[in-house]
């Protein structure tokens, strides 16, 4: 299995809702990433997990809460979002080089979840 | 500080014509460079990568890129464009667990 899957493909939520985005990979990758992509813009890194521990948080608002329950799964919990949070949310994964600190550069991306906040 | 610049926001080429997408980077050491392609509403697909060695790298779908250290460039080329190549292309630099994306070039293909 050489792909990253994301569910749901589309999500519409109100500003008071709580929802979750899910990402799964079975390539044995131990680094997983969340990106946010606005229309006509490049992806922006949000979070990185390495060996199920949060490694990088790019000063993301607390209304986004990541979770990595095991080496294959990555969740993004959403609560009290704003309309400006509407975007394509991409998950990616990569290998981690020996010594566990450097991620192998080649990332595999999922197809994304299109989120609309109303 | 590292950065990636893609000077062309939009490019339109005729089907069958050659293509070159420009990418310039700023980085002190030998960079890890990538080209990704993104179709509308989809995730990113890796076209090719440069880590070291041969400066001309071959990728999928008939794409190639040439690394030129003297010009800090990593331009993407294809000799004959197909209508299915219409997409957004991102040049990307990797440094210590982070990717630095260029702003992207949107390719339109005329029939």
Residue of chain B whose Cα is closest to the Cα of A58? B98
Given this model, what pLDDT does residue B95 score? 79
Contacts with B64 (C-beta within 8 Å, 6 or more apart), sequence order? B48, B56, B57, B58, B76, B77, B78
Instruction: For chain A, give the mean pLDDT.
Output: 91
Read off the pLDDT of residues B48-103 as tens digits, 9 standing for 90 and up: 999 888 899 999 999 999 999 999 999 999 999 999 999 999 999 987 777 889 99
Query: Which of B49, B97, B106 comes nearest A106 by C-beta?
Result: B49
Given this model, what pLDDT does residue A98 score? 59
- In the block, residue with structure tokens 């990616």: A92
- A38–chain B Cβ distance below 8 A for any pair: no
Over range A85-104, report the average pLDDT.
Answer: 78
Query: Which of A42, A103, A112 comes nearest B43 by C-beta?
Result: A112
Share of chain A above pLDDT 90, in %: 76
| Pairwise CB contact (< 8 Å): B90 & A103 | no
């Amino acid at each position: 299995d050489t792909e990253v899957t994301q569910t749901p493909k589309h999500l519409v939520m109100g500003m008071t809702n709580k929802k979750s985005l899910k990402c799964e990979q079975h390539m044995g990758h131990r680094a997983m990433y969340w990106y946010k992509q606005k229309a006509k813009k490049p992806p922006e890194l949000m979070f990185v997990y390495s060996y199920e521990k949060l490694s990088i948080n790019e000063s993301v608002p607390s209304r986004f809460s990541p979770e990595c329950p095991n080496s294959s799964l990555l969740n993004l919990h959403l609560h009290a979002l704003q309309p400006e949070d509407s975007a394509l949310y991409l998950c990616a994964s990569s290998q981690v080089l020996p010594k566990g600190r450097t991620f192998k550069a080649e990332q595999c991306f999922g197809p994304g979840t299109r989120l609309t906040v109303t | 500080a590292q950065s990636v610049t893609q000077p062309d926001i939009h490019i339109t080429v005729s089907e069958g014509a050659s293509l070159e997408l420009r990418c310039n980077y700023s980085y002190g050491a030998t960079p890890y460079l990538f080209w990704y392609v993104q179709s509308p509403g989809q995730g990113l697909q890796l076209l090719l990568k440069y880590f070291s060695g041969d400066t001309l790298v071959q990728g999928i779908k008939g794409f190639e890129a040439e690394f030129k250290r003297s010009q800090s460039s990593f331009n993407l080329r294809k000799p004959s464009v197909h209508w299915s190549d219409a997409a957004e292309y991102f040049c990307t630099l990797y440094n210590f667990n982070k990717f630095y994306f260029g702003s992207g070039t949107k390719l339109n293909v005329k029939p």
